[in-house]
Structure 1
């Protein structure tokens, strides 16, 4: 997925997490919650995006051809000024969007997504945490500029190396994980699903997503918990059990460690 207009996101049956937005200097930074969306627009300014979750749908980015897409988790994206964008997904995923508001055009004339860049990942995670719970030490202009520099580098970071985890394998893995989140899941089961040895699977997964399978599994548990918090009135203890956490306290600790906020704080937004 590439950058989208949050106003076109489809509304779930329960109030979603809000779009979190901050404007500072020449930058506007938005954190879009995971939800279904359908959008079409012509980009009137360059935009940088970062997909925290894997997601799939249909898109046509700078093209008349609508085709399926699979966005990899931790994928950096870029949309140049004037690019025609059509994108839709039945589930979406949490997404960071950064644009300049002073009319300055960022370098680059080709749209891309699924670029793996460890420095961009670290910046995006820091920005997400600050948007979820602002702090006095937040350095938004420096973060936005640094992320823009990562997105507009000419290095061919967006091309996966031979033998890496493919988007289709990622889709199968997501479906397998989501179906079994209420129970124990391990590297052995994930590797067997894809017909790979455990060692090869762990290396390929790290290459494709920038994180370990265990870390990604935690992120999927958090994503499902946030979706249940958004789309149901279930008790937090029941949500914790449904997402494979040992207890509500375990889920709360993981939320604080990964997101900087508790489940109760997010649900109270």
Structure 2
């Protein structure tokens, strides 16, 4: 199956995680690794997207006005058929995309993003784990239908409350600068000048996850980037990303992604991709 996503991702010099895609019945499912991209196209089919990481850049979705965008982590997005899309980011982020390819449109006629929905988060994580390490009993069509239904039910973005896009950027920069050492909720709340209790509630509303869970996600994202962009050993990467040891990092990888760092690096080295008709 040819890559369906029009985003042209620049490949680093070191081994990159491959784009993972699968065809299941009338559904095409694709997982793009975090990387810079630039794209301009007209959507021939409506699609559901899910941003695992916070992303920022420029876009114009269904309009000719190009504006800065801030995509929240765990945000659900929808692009209707016929919609003009221009989007670019110097960093990008891991992104899941689901399209129905048999000409049957998905419900909705207005694009949206940054929609936080617990069921959509669960389904997107389940699909990502399966794409990273497919099993014979993976229920791709059921997951795709479930994610599409979440998009159909949620066609208007919710307000982010106190954790705005600019505050998320500040928090990301703070976390990324301190990943090699201990990071806690008090320091994150203080950075945003919020009480710890209020910060925890506002963060969960904005991202669908607790600050602690998000911190683990950032450690995983950094580890995967280092595995992609460097030849450092897994033990070195684990310590750089704030894990206690390589064994600790491996356990978190298996729990969150369903695959070990060694398996992921081996799959990237071979450029392994999975297809199902």
Question: What's the TM-score bracket when you normalise by the shorter of the two chains?
Answer: over 0.9
- How far off its partner does 1:136 sit? 2.0
| Whole-Å separation in 2 of the counterparts to 1:59 and 1:228 | 27
Structure 1 outlier segments of 4+, above 4 Å:
none
Could you say which structure has the greater relative contact order, defined with CA pairs below 8 angstroms and 6 or more residues apart?
A: 2
- Structure 1 contact 164–207 (Cα < 8 Å) conserved: no
Change (3 A) 1:73 1:223: same
2:46 corresponding residue in structure 1: 46
2:166 corresponding residue in structure 1: 168
SS of residue in 2 equivalent to 1:131: helix
Q: TM-score, normalised by structure 1?
A: 0.95
- Listed as ranges, the gaps of 5+ residues in structure 2 are 268-277
1:230-241 map, 5 Å: 230-241=228-239
**Is 1:185 aligned to 2:183, yes or no?**
yes
| Whole-Å separation in 1 of the counterparts to 2:24 and 2:223 | 31
- Structure 2 contact 108–155 (Cα < 8 Å) conserved: no
Q: TM-score, normalised by structure 2?
A: 0.93
| Whole-Å separation in 2 of the counterparts to 1:31 and 1:203 | 30
| Whole-Å separation in 2 of the counterparts to 1:221 and 1:154 | 30
- How far off its partner does 1:224 sit? 0.2
1:221-232 map, 5 Å: 221-232=219-230
SS of residue in 2 equivalent to 1:12: coil
- How far off its partner does 1:191 sit? 0.2
1:139 corresponding residue in structure 2: 139
- Kindly tell me the number of residue pairs found equivalent between the two proteins: 264
- How far off its partner does 1:7 sit? 5.1
- Listed as ranges, the gaps of 5+ residues in structure 1 are none
The Cα RMSD (Å) is 1.2
SS of residue in 2 equivalent to 1:56: strand
1:142-161 map, 5 Å: 142-154=142-154, 156=156, 158-160=157-159
1:2-151 map, 5 Å: 5-6=5-6, 8-151=8-151
- Structure 2 contact 60–66 (Cα < 8 Å) conserved: yes
1:253 corresponding residue in structure 2: 251
